Chain A
Amino acid sequence: MANDILVFVEHLNGDITDATYELLATARSLAAQTGGSVDAAVIGTGASALADDLGGADRILVADTDALGAFNPQGHAEMFASLVETRQPAITLVPYTSVGMDIGNHVAATSGQPLVSYCLSVDAGDGLSGTCQLYSGKVQADVQVEADRAVFAMLAGAASADDGRSGGAAVIENVDTAVPDLAITFIGTAEPEAGDVDITTEDILVAIGRGIESEDNIEEAQALADALGAALAASRPIIDQGWLPKTRQVGKSGLSVKPKVYLALGISGAPEHLEGMRDSSTIIAVNSDPQAPIFGVAHYGWAGDLFDFIPELTDRLEG
């Protein structure tokens, strides 16, 4: 219906992701504005069994089929797109995640709807509008959609996952499970390899980002970590350069950590990074840019040069 909200349900191994529950919470507040229903589409192997966990939706559209595997970037996208086509929701919500990226772009492009990406909040009060984060979280932009319907790709943390776990009518509707001809075949999933250090169990993490500048400077950060009795962690650019192993990565594509102290050095604070460390007990950030988004989640900050800070702190700890 033209005032309904349709949510794509992301799931793996029988578990629905928190990102999905956040979407359901966002959908609930939008439905209050549009007067529509909160619909959740759950597609793929084991979809039926997940309906019980979708109490936050008014209607649960179930397409249970073994033909797609855990997630098929083409199969799930095409089946979800056909639901968007038949249901004509006013707002389609997908998570801004690896899975959501395949879904959102495909659905928006094939249905001719605008796609609002990197989205922090959506409003349906006066047409469709949203607030987005750009340039790795350094800039916020308000956007007004020039169409009656749109797809929104929501960043993690846009709403509380707990608010999306219940509160809907939860009527189950089985939908067509005819799988289109696919050019993509699901082979299987793999868990990450264990590393030498488990950064999820450390009390103190010294985390380095792009500000460390070169591989040669990592030694200095390691010396500080040693002096603190901490483990060294990093944001994605450091891992992608091959300067530290993947097991040290904090963030969306790395690990989520909650140490007692998270010392962020030269990390600007892209939303993907913040997602993995924002629940740390004490976050201390050092960055030369006083407007770096890391200071938005840090409890304490110093705007200055990390190459002044690191040796000073190391010396004082050792002395």
Chain B
Amino acid sequence: MNIAVLLRAVPDPVEELEIDGVDLDRDFLGYVLNEFDDHALEEGLLIKEETGGTVTVYALGTADEVEQMLHTALAKGADTAKMLGSDLDVVDAHGQAETFVEALTGGGFDLVLSGVQASDEIDGQVAMLVAAGLGFPHVSVVVGTKPADGSIRVTKEYWAGITADYDVALPAVLGIQTAREAPRYVAVARIRQAQESGNLEELDIDQPENGSRMTITEMRLPEEGEGAEMIEGDEEAAVDRVLELLQAAGVR
């Protein structure tokens, strides 16, 4: 099976964010691979190990992080990596999807995988928009797959752990929530080897344009401790108060 996996760099979820106008202040913002895309890559590698074929990873985003993401993917077992541009500005989900569609068209892929969502997708989910662009059937919130001949059995999570199985004719797009196994670890030495492998190709594309047809008029952070009574002081003071609260709740 020939599989494409779409990777995106997103602001590091552990970072404290700041606003600049109607966007994040991105000057010192760290980016990491969207965690759902990491699961999509893992699922792609597992399917390849079962069926043979290839995994090609595509990525879009800010240059340094993207290169790092792609080299890591190669080190994990992807065959080819394609970087869509080297210094592109951030673009909305519609713009990202359009760029991925352009890169994937005519690629002859049986399966396109990406993370089910990313934290910045205010205008829709890239994986599903790519499916629409390619005219492929799609399933989102996929938590497992079982490839067959010409089709794939996918498990979709509805809610609260309730799942449904579907047979999906190929080619198809899947929005992966969780791979069957936790994303594999790869040693730094392997990533260095991948950097020297020459399997990373940079595609020459124009700066994608936003396609959401909506404008962000205001962006803001929630107020500090909004709603909660904040406990002042060090951990000892915090624990004092928490012990009182446990007693008040009748559990101590």
Contact = CB atoms under 8 A, between A and B. Distances in A.
Interface of A: 12, 17, 70-74, 97-99, 101-102, 104-106, 108-110, 114-118, 129, 132, 134-147, 150, 153, 182-192, 203-204, 210-211, 228-229, 237, 240-242, 246-247, 249, 252-256, 260-261, 263, 268, 281-286, 289-291, 293, 295-305, 308-309, 312-313, 316-317
A291 B11 CA distance: 16
Contact of B122 (A17, A116, A147): A116
- Binding site secondary structure of chain A: mixed
16 contacts: A97-B159, A101-B125, A105-B125, A106-B138, A110-B132, A117-B124, A146-B213, A182-B137, A183-B137, A183-B169, A187-B164, A190-B165, A249-B161, A282-B245, A302-B230, A302-B242
A134 B249 contact: no
B119 to A, nearest CB: 5
A254 B231 CA distance: 29
A114 B216 CA distance: 13
Nearest to B13: A136
A238 B250 CA distance: 29
A313 B214 CA distance: 48
B34 to A, nearest CB: 12
Interface in B106-126: 116-117, 119-125
Given A141-B122, A240-B178, A286 B158 contact: no
A295 B11 CA distance: 21
Nearest to B179: A240
B190 interface: no
Given A134-B120, A261-B249, A299-B229, A254 B222 contact: no
A135 B35 CA distance: 13
B228 A299 contact: yes
A134 B231 contact: no
B220 A140 contact: yes
Contact of B124 (A74, A115, A283): A115
B101 to A, nearest CB: 11
B229 A12 contact: no
Given A139-B221, A183-B172, 18 more contacts: A109-B132, A135-B13, A138-B222, A139-B17, A141-B218, A142-B218, A143-B217, A184-B137, A247-B161, A252-B159, A253-B141, A260-B249, A261-B249, A301-B231, A312-B236, A312-B238, A313-B243, A316-B243
Which of A153, A211, A300 has the largest number of chain B CB atoms within 10 A?
A300
B220 A98 contact: no
B214 A144 contact: yes
Contacts of B242: 263, 284, 300, 302, 313
A165 B175 CA distance: 32
Size class of the contact patch on chain B: 35 or more
Contact of A108 (B39, B124, B238): B124
Interface string B46-63: 000000000000000000
Given A97-B159, A295-B227, A284 B169 contact: no
Nearest to A190: B163
Given A114-B214, A139-B221, A187 B229 contact: no
B120 to A, nearest CB: 6
B125 to A, nearest CB: 5
A7 to B, nearest CB: 18
Given A139-B24, A187-B165, A300 B116 contact: no
B35 A240 contact: yes
B14 A210 contact: yes
Contact of A253 (B177, B182, B224, B241): B177
Contact of A105 (B120, B128, B219, B221): B128
Contacts of B125: 101, 105, 117
B39 A240 contact: yes
A184 B228 contact: no
B218 A237 contact: no
A118 B137 contact: no
A285 B228 contact: yes
Nearest to A203: B251
Sorted nearest first, the 3 A-B pairs with minimum C-beta distance are A192-B161, A109-B132, A105-B128
B226 interface: yes
Given A187-B166, A313-B242, A291 B16 contact: yes
A104 B128 CA distance: 9
A137 B17 CA distance: 11
A135 B29 CA distance: 13
Given A73-B139, A237-B35, A192 B165 contact: no
A73 B23 CA distance: 33
A231 B200 CA distance: 47
A104 B220 CA distance: 26
A136 B119 contact: yes
Contacts of A295: 222, 224-228, 230
Contacts of A204: 246, 251
A60 to B, nearest CB: 23
B241 A300 contact: yes
A284 B245 contact: yes
A139 B219 contact: yes
Contacts of B177: 253
Given A187-B166, A188-B165, A106 B128 contact: yes
A114 B215 CA distance: 11
